[in-house]
Amino acid sequence: MTLRVIYAGTPEFAVPALRALATDPTIELVAVYTQPDRPSGRGQKLTPSPVKAVALELGLPVEQPITLRDESAQQTLAAYRPDLMVVAAYGLILPVAVLETPRLGAVNIHASLLPRWRGAAPIARAIEAGDTETGITIMQMAQGLDTGDMLLKRVEPIHPEDTAATLHDRLSQLGGEALMAALPGIVAGTLPAEVQNDDEACYAAKLAKAEGLIDWREPAEVLARRIRAFDPWPAAYTELAGAMLKIWSAACEDMTEGSAAEPGTVIAVDAAGFVVRTGAGALRVRTCQQAGGKRIAAADFARNRPLMGVRLG
């Protein structure tokens, strides 16, 4: 007997788990739910989500409701007679009526070790906070933001050079592996459900573009983490001669000169990039990008530019 599964996801993060489910002969993917197509690119052409693109490639039925709160959408979902709903970064709130429709309920693939980093941006917030590890939690979905019982966890280290992009790619693969490891226990009802300790919870707020603006008065260590956390979006940026300059890679630097300079001042330029005074310590910029340009080595950017002593921001 096959397990009738509805999959709900939208971005690249949700793709590996969908592909993993599609390869399991004991599973019938009866429908894939994803966000409606969005305008994208310079031409603002309507573009399917990464999950929709893969679902169509696999020949699976696709549903793209604007909301699941209305009765019509709920009746459509119920008509698929799902045994289980699997959710990964779907982007729509699931009302109780939907959560209770599948015989086995709904499980979520969450990119953190709950209850740490509930919410929309767990990967970036973990890097920004200086966490040394994160992971995947397979969670039974319930009302409330990522508050359901935890069924299975997989730990993933955060390396010193990790960006949100590199960590995202590893966690998305781990999400698919963790789901498939948890699935037999979910079906058999043998996985112990661990209640989350709300006292240990913290919230991963959605990223905002304005957060990318670098305040050079902050410590170098904080800025270095934020630059990695905001790659690829919203990107950390500063201002140079009235134009935006994105900073993609930087590291803390021992400061032997320029300690009296104002935060944001370029205090060294050499073959490895340029160094900026911060509120505490200095930051060596290694990769940057001008508006309309490509990411380039900071050393190349600094070549033939009078950066020494210039104030950024």
CATH number at residue 185: 3.40.50.170
- Asked whether residue 225 falls in the same domain as residue 163, the answer is no
- Average model confidence (pLDDT) for the chain? 96
Whether 115 has a binding-site annotation, put simply, is: yes
Whether 307 has a binding-site annotation, put simply, is: no
Whether cis (ω within 30° of 0) applies to the bond prior to 184 is no
Can you give the pLDDT at residue 239? Answer: 96
Percent of the chain with pLDDT over 70: 99
Q: Is residue 42's pLDDT more than 80?
A: no
Distances (CA, A) of 87 to 8, 32, 77, 91, 157: 5, 10, 14, 9, 24
Can you give the pLDDT at residue 40? Answer: 87
Q: What is the pLDDT of residues 208-240, one digit of tens each?
A: 999 999 999 999 999 999 999 999 999 999 999
Which run of H or of E encompasses 273?
strand 273-277
- Asked whether residue 120 falls in the same domain as residue 37, the answer is yes
- pTM above 0.75? yes
Neighbours of 222 (CB within 10 A): 18
Domain termination site, one of 183, 204, 225: 204
- Asked whether residue 40 falls in the same domain as residue 179, the answer is yes
Q: What is the pLDDT of residues 162-200, one digit of tens each?
A: 999 999 999 999 999 999 999 999 999 999 999 999 999
Distances (CA, A) of 258 to 106, 218, 263, 265: 57, 16, 10, 9
Give the total number of structural domains in the chain.
2
- Asked whether residue 44 falls in the same domain as residue 76, the answer is yes
User: Predicted confidence band at 97 (pLDDT cuts at 50, 70, 90)?
Assistant: very high
Q: Is residue 71's pLDDT more than 70?
A: yes
Can you give the pLDDT at residue 57? Answer: 98
* First CA to last CA distance, the chain: 62
Whether 77 has a binding-site annotation, put simply, is: no
Q: Is residue 147's pLDDT more than 80?
A: yes
- Asked whether residue 280 falls in the same domain as residue 164, the answer is no
| Cross-sheet strand order for the sheet of 3-9 | 62-63, 27-33, 3-9, 84-88, 106-110, 133-140, 150-157
Domain termination site, one of 163, 181, 204: 204
Residue whose entry in the numeric block shows the structure tokens 């966490």: 131
- Asked whether residue 185 falls in the same domain as residue 214, the answer is no
Q: How many residues does the chain have?
A: 313
Domain termination site, one of 204, 232, 264: 204
- Asked whether residue 238 falls in the same domain as residue 188, the answer is no
- Asked whether residue 156 falls in the same domain as residue 75, the answer is yes
Q: Is residue 258's pLDDT more than 70?
A: no
Can you give the pLDDT at residue 1? Answer: 78
Any idea what the CATH number is for the domain that residue 281 is in?
3.10.25.10
The arithmetic mean of pLDDT across residues 118-126, rounded, is 97
- Asked whether residue 119 falls in the same domain as residue 74, the answer is yes
- Asked whether residue 40 falls in the same domain as residue 58, the answer is yes
Q: Is residue 58's pLDDT more than 80?
A: yes
Whether 114 has a binding-site annotation, put simply, is: yes
- Asked whether residue 189 falls in the same domain as residue 219, the answer is no
- Asked whether residue 306 falls in the same domain as residue 175, the answer is no
Q: Is residue 255's pLDDT more than 80?
A: no
Residue 257 CA, distance from chain mean position: 38
Q: Is residue 256's pLDDT more than 80?
A: no
The arithmetic mean of pLDDT across residues 43-70, rounded, is 96
Q: Which residues pair with 3 in a beta bridge?
A: 27
Q: Is residue 308's pLDDT more than 70?
A: yes
> Residue 123: which domain range?
3-204
